[in-house]
Structure 1
Amino acid sequence: TVRYFPLDAGAGGTNGETTESLAWEIAPTPGNWRNLRIRLKVAPGAGTTRTFKVRKNGVDTGVAVNIVHPATYGEDLVNDFDVVAGDRLDMYLGFAGGAPVFSHIAWGLDWTPAIPGEYIHMGTSTGALDT
């Protein structure tokens, strides 16, 4: 099973999407993303691994975390990626191994603007994507 989430859904109550384009958020300004940290409320399930990947324009960025049962926390403090305004961003979640156990998920990323003084506030909508 694969799910896609908007980047701002890390603390939300969504089940994710099976179609990636429904989870896209648009980067409003250029910058650099890094330091992905993920916490599960419940471990993935016996023999199960949860794989999280940040994606840009439908392609893996290299920022990724695997959480293997019985762990509930993982981080990628090594990889990063740059964005420009208009890039489409989302989080991929895949499962491998045993039957996954439902869990609330919280995640966060650090962001540094390419333009000094810029900041971002990302959000999602179930409406049509318009760039």
Structure 2
Amino acid sequence: MPKTTDNGNAKKEELPSTIERSDKKAQRTYAKAHDSAVESYGEGRRAHQTAYSALKHTHEKVGDHWEPKEGGKKGPSDEQAKGGRGTNKETKGGVDANATKEHLLKLAKKLDVSGRSKMKKKELVDAIQKANDKTTAAARKKKKK
């Protein structure tokens, strides 16, 4: 099912919940990439993965939504998003694993990750991913009520 309207805007009712809670640019990026991927690969998992990969070039997941990367920096956020077809690397769930440690520390503080000041970069990425997953699960649970 197409994720964009005839005029190119995202159909909110067709978007994953984390993208639904994100800005219009994130919604448009995901929706257009998804629709393009459906033309190439058909509807399904691959189209969604392609759309998320496109989104990870301009946005990063923060809590239960996606925010533009700091300073307008563009590029893949992890090895999976960078690799393209046939890549079988671990995704970091929207955390920009290529960001500076300073940026990751700011995100960890925003998400109230405890012990962040003593963590190495990889540990920060994993802790932020865990905090994002927890926040997203809570937002979905809240929406169901």
Q: TM-score interval w.r.t. the shorter chain?
A: under 0.3
Larger Rg: 2
More strand by percentage: 1
Instruction: Using CA pairs under 8 Å that are at least 6 residues apart, name the structure with larger relative contact order, 1 or 2.
Output: 1
TM-score, length-normalised on structure 2? 0.25
TM value normalised by structure 1? 0.27
Structure with the higher fraction of residues in helix conformation:
2
